[in-house]
Amino acid sequence: MLQVTIPQVTVVVPCYNEAERLDPVEFLRLARQDGVSVLFVNDGSRDGTEDLLRDVCDRSSGRAQWLSLEHNSGKAEAVRRGLLQALQDGAAVVAYLDADLSTPVDELLRLAGLMRERPEVQVVLGSRVRLLGNAVERKALRHYLGRVFATAASLALGLAVYDTQCGAKLFRASATLRAALDTPFETRWIFDVELLARLLFGAQGQPALNSAQFLEVPLRTWRDVAGSKLRLHHMARAASDLARIHLQLRHQRARRDLPGPADR
Ligand SMILES: Nc1nc2c(ncn2[C@@H]2O[C@H](COP(=O)(O)OP(=O)(O)O)[C@@H](O)[C@H]2O)c(=O)[nH]1
Ligand SMILES: [Mg+2]
């Protein structure tokens, strides 16, 4: 098994009705890695998620904790609240990871190891790229719709990012990150894009990150796990949200007289 020594990383795991899908053994293995802790965010689940999380946390010798949101608030808010809590608790690096482990534990640890090796990097993004030798299994329809969306997101952000929507991302703690998480996201399904935009443009007067501080890493293993709650009409909503973000960023660029996408 992969073992890496990494700065204190807190992995936030948003959980909405995950009693069936969440694998306690794998999450306990993650929580027991050196320098890693896990923070589950129970997003107003109505199944047995809370009991399961309590059990996992009880067995983790304090390495896994959970916080509960009173109402179902959506992945964006669950992740935001978890990341803020992790920063407040003093984590040097915060991450988020889907409860269904579409991105496996060892891949998350590999990304965390890269964060340790590359101190100049502020953000590490897992990326679902089908390459020979990699086991990236996605349903064809979601793959192609996802590619259209990801290309549009890259153009809107002016950032050469391949996959904004992969549910595995790590961030070094900074004032810029704190400011970027300070207010709820406006979008429900594409908060990843919104978060990247806030980091790239700087929120609340904090310095912006530049593209050299982002590292995108093709995952060796990723799989679609059954039970996704994402529906086709959510994708339509995502497209209109992206158009809105694009307009906001254009406005911001013009106001600050920043270079456009082509110059970045
Ligand atoms: N869909 C959905 N997921 C949520 C919500 N709150 C937290 N999550 C978590 O977000 C992650 C991704 O969910 P999933 O349904 O697998 O989405 P997909 O893999 O992107 O299609 C999981 O860890 C969910 O438990 C919510 O309100 N809706
Ligand atoms: Mg999933």
Ligand with an atom nearest the CA of residue 97: 1
pLDDT at 254 over 90: no
Does 74 sit in the ligand 1 pocket, CB within 6 Å? yes
The pairing of strands 168-172 and 123-127 is antiparallel
Residue 1 lies in a domain: no
> What is the Cα–Cα distance from 99 to 11, expressed in whole angstroms?
11
CA distance 250 to 264: 14
Does the beta carbon of 78 sit less than 6 angstroms from any atom of ligand 1?
A: yes
How far is the C-alpha of 31 from the C-alpha of 25, rounded, in Å? Answer: 10
Tens of pLDDT along 228-246? Answer: 777 778 888 888 999 999 9
Q: Examine residue 246 and state whether it is found in any structural domain, yes or no.
A: yes
Does 77 contact ligand 1 (Cβ within 6 A)?
Answer: no
Query: pLDDT value at position 153?
Result: 95
pLDDT in tens, 26-54: 999 999 999 999 999 999 999 999 999 99
- Say yes or no: CB of residue 224 within 6 Å of ligand 1: no
Average pLDDT for residues 155-162, to the nearest whole number? 94
Q: How far apart are CA 168 and CA 166, in angstroms?
A: 6
- Domain range for 90 is 9-263
Do the Cβ atoms of 50 and 68 come closer than 8 Å?
yes
At 97-118, the pLDDT tens digits run: 999 999 999 999 999 999 999 9
CB-ligand 1 contact for 229 (6 Å cutoff): yes
Average pLDDT over residues 181-198: 95
Mutation test residue for ligand 1: of 42, 98, 192, the one with most atoms within 8 Å of CB: 98
Asked whether residue 151 is assigned to any structural domain, the reply reads yes
**Is position 193 within any domain?**
yes
Instruction: Report the residue among 11, 16, 53 best suited for mutation to probe ligand 1: largest number of ligand atoms under 8 A from its CB.
Output: 16
* Residue 141 counted as domain residue: yes
| Overall number of domains in the chain | 1
4 located within any domain: no
Q: What CATH number corresponds to the domain at position 218?
A: 3.90.550.10
Let me know if residue 195 belongs to a domain. Answer: yes
**Pick from 12, 20, 15: nearest CA to 227:** 20
Residue 126 lies in a domain: yes
